[in-house]
């Protein structure tokens, strides 16, 4: 899929002769074989199905790539992780990109999982590797083009501006992550990105995924927009069901139509202070 995307950028224009769809890992609703029911600027519609809890735990543990998800075995998943990185670095990237230091690129790929969910600084990485900013930027872009990771950026508007412009980084294969809180945030990020791409690729809506952070350091994990206007925000709190003060703050500041707080605990669904607190499995069932 990475090669198809790269080749798409060259050659003759095919405008009007094809539609471009982005392929994503399995998502909860897809595994459940239920068609999307997203409606722009409307609240998410969740599924009440006894299967969603088990499907969510399988996706969290084994990821959304067919090779590991369909086998549902830890051995197969570990083997897939190693083989995927080797093939990605030593074959796909080596064949298509002019990278002189392949071994350094592989080290970078091994480091990136520890950066998931936090502000991503190229300058800090540049210092760690002892290379120029242009070089580390190129390496990160190459891994992103080959669907190893993706970045989301802070939302800015006339209401408030983010002081720092650094993005946050997430992996396409969240099952690589050892930290459970980071893994939970990553699976939510991946499902939201899939929903945003689905609405753009299939229906042509100008949907985007951001995170929220103001000059005082207040932060909310995710914001989905339509035509640059906020649709809903989502905050991942793992085991904490106390409504996030930052989520309440941004909901008022941006006049958010909908706000969700996501917890890993099953069977949670209540509303307080105009924030719907819901289990991760149920929240993901409302996407694509």
Does residue 19 fall inside a structural domain? no
Does residue 21 fall inside a structural domain? no
Q: How far apart are the first and last CA of the chain?
A: 20
Does residue 97 fall inside a structural domain? yes
Predicted TM-score of the model (pTM): 0.94
The CA–CA distances, whole Å, from 95 to 69, 89, 138 equal 28, 9, 16
Question: What kind and span of H or E run contains 142?
Answer: helix 133-145
Does residue 15 fall inside a structural domain? no
Q: Could you tell me the residue range of the domain that residue 154 belongs to?
A: 2-9+26-285
Total domains present in the chain: 1
Does residue 75 fall inside a structural domain? yes
Does residue 233 fall inside a structural domain? yes
* Cα–Cα distance, 277 to 58 (Å, whole number): 22
| Sequential pLDDT tens for the chain (288 residues) | 555 565 555 555 666 666 788 999 999 999 999 999 999 999 999 999 999 999 999 999 999 999 999 999 999 999 999 999 999 999 999 887 878 899 999 999 999 999 999 999 999 999 999 999 999 999 999 999 999 999 999 999 877 776 678 999 999 999 999 999 999 999 999 999 999 999 999 999 999 999 999 989 999 999 999 999 999 999 999 888 899 999 999 999 999 999 999 999 999 999 999 999 999 999 999 999
Does residue 248 fall inside a structural domain? yes
Does residue 244 fall inside a structural domain? yes
């Amino acid at each position: 899929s990475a090669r198809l995307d790269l080749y798409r950028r060259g050659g003759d224009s095919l405008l009007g002769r094809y539609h471009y769809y982005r392929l994503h890992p399995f998502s909860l609703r897809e595994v459940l074989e239920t068609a999307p029911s997203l409606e722009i600027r409307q609240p998410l519609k969740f599924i009440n199905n006894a299967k969603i809890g088990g499907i969510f735990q399988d996706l969290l543990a084994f990821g959304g790539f067919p090779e590991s998800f369909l086998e549902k075995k830890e051995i197969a998943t570990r083997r897939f992780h190693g083989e995927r990185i080797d093939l990605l670095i030593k074959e796909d990237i080596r064949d298509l990109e002019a990278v002189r230091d392949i071994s350094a690129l592989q080290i970078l790929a091994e480091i990136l999982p520890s950066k998931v969910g936090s502000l991503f600084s190229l300058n800090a990485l540049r210092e760690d590797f002892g290379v120029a900013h242009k070089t580390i930027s190129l390496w990160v872009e190459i891994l992103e083009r080959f669907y190893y990771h993706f970045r989301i950026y802070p939302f800015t508007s006339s209401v408030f501006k983010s002081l720092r412009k650094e993005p946050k980084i997430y992996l396409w294969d969240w099952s690589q992550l050892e930290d459970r809180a980071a893994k939970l945030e990553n699976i939510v990020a991946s499902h939201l990105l899939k929903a945003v791409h689905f609405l753009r690729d299939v229906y042509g809506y100008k949907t985007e995924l951001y995170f929220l952070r103001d000059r005082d350091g207040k932060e909310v994990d995710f914001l989905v927009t339509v035509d640059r206007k906020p649709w809903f925000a989502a905050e991942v709190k793992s085991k904490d069901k106390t409504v996030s003060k930052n989520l309440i703050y941004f909901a008022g500041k941006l006049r958010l139509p909908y706000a969700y707080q996501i917890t890993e605990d099953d069977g949670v669904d209540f509303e307080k202070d105009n924030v719907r607190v819901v289990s991760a499995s149920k929240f993901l069932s409302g996407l694509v």
